[in-house]
């Protein structure tokens, strides 16, 4: 059986983002376990704020189509989700909304395994935003979202100088999440053949 193809994406494009560090760490741990990883930066796929009139006048932006094709071509997705005011970030929500508007062949959300994580300077580690993201993916988009999530509190001191996690408990959570994502994508691959 081929190795699972997994997209890793941070919901932040800010320089020095804790969530981008978390996404890079997930990509590294997946690659060590032989996943075929595609690391996506949303900075490379700028999109206007979703607006039905804009879509009617101009169609779906090319960057949304490019992301749609990427999602369709992969078995799983890890999203590192920053939290704004106890919710999901406009960047991530807008990106998922635009992808859902693409009418090309292939299913970007259903039959895919999603894993969620967050890193936050606060004590909750972005958990409140993850709950909102889970609702969007599961209820709104029909995705399979793993019950395991990783949440990195006090993110400003959670990474060492090699951008690995300093706390064993959180690092262990991340390992379990990565293993579950690989296990479930392998199950989905075997069911589709």
pLDDT at 130: 96
Q: Which two tokens stand for residue 75?
A: 């078995």
pLDDT tens-digit series, residues 7-17: 999 999 999 99
CA distance 26 to 20: 10
For the question of whether the overall pTM of this predicted structure is more than 0.75, the answer is yes
Residue 34 has pLDDT above 70, yes or no: yes
What whole-number distance in Å separates Cα of residue 75 and Cα of residue 179? 14
CA distance 113 to 129: 19
**CATH number for the domain harbouring residue 13:** 3.40.50.360
Give mean pLDDT, residues 17-45.
Answer: 97
Distance (Å, whole) CA 9 – CA 42: 8
Contact 166, 125 (CB under 8 A): no
For residue 119, how many C-alpha atoms fall within 13 Å in the half-sphere facing its CB? 28
Closest CA to 134 of 96, 172, 106, 170: 96
Predicted confidence band at 193 (pLDDT cuts at 50, 70, 90)?
low
CA distance 189 to 164: 30
Looking from the CA of 136 toward its CB, the CA atoms found within 13 Å total 20
pLDDT (tens digit per residue) in 93-147: 999 999 999 999 999 999 899 999 999 999 989 999 999 999 999 999 999 999 9
Mean pLDDT value across residues 17-25 = 97
Partners of residue 41 on adjacent β-strands: 10
Instruction: Identify the domain containing residue 23 by its residue range.
Output: 5-191
Domain count along the chain: 1
Q: Count Cα atoms within 13 angstroms, Cβ side, for 88.
A: 23
Average pLDDT over residues 71-92: 96
% the chain with pLDDT above 70? 99
Determine the average pLDDT of the residues in 19-48: 97
| Token representation of residue 22 | 């978390």
| Count of C-beta atoms within a 10 Å radius of residue 104 | 11
């Amino acid at each position: 059986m081929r190795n699972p193809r997994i997209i890793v994406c941070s919901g932040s494009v800010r320089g020095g983002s804790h969530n981008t560090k978390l996404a890079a760490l997930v990509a590294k741990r997946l690659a060590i376990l032989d996943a075929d990883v595609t690391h996506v930066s949303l900075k490379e796929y700028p999109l206007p704020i979703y607006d039905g009139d804009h879509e009617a006048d101009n169609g779906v932006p090319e960057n949304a189509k490019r992301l749609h094709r990427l999602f369709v071509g992969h078995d799983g997705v890890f999203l590192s989700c920053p939290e704004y005011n106890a919710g999901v970030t406009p960047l991530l929500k807008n990106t998922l909304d635009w992808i859902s508007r693409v009418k090309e062949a292939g299913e970007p959300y259903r039959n895919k395994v999603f894993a969620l994580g967050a890193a936050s300077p606060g004590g909750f580690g972005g958990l409140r935003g993850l709950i909102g993201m889970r609702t969007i993916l599961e209820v709104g988009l029909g995705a399979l979202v793993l019950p395991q999530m990783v949440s990195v509190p006090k993110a400003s001191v959670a990474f060492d100088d090699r951008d690995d996690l300093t706390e064993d408990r959180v690092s262990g959570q991340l390992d379990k999440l990565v293993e579950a994502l690989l296990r479930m994508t392998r199950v989905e691959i075997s069911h589709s053949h």
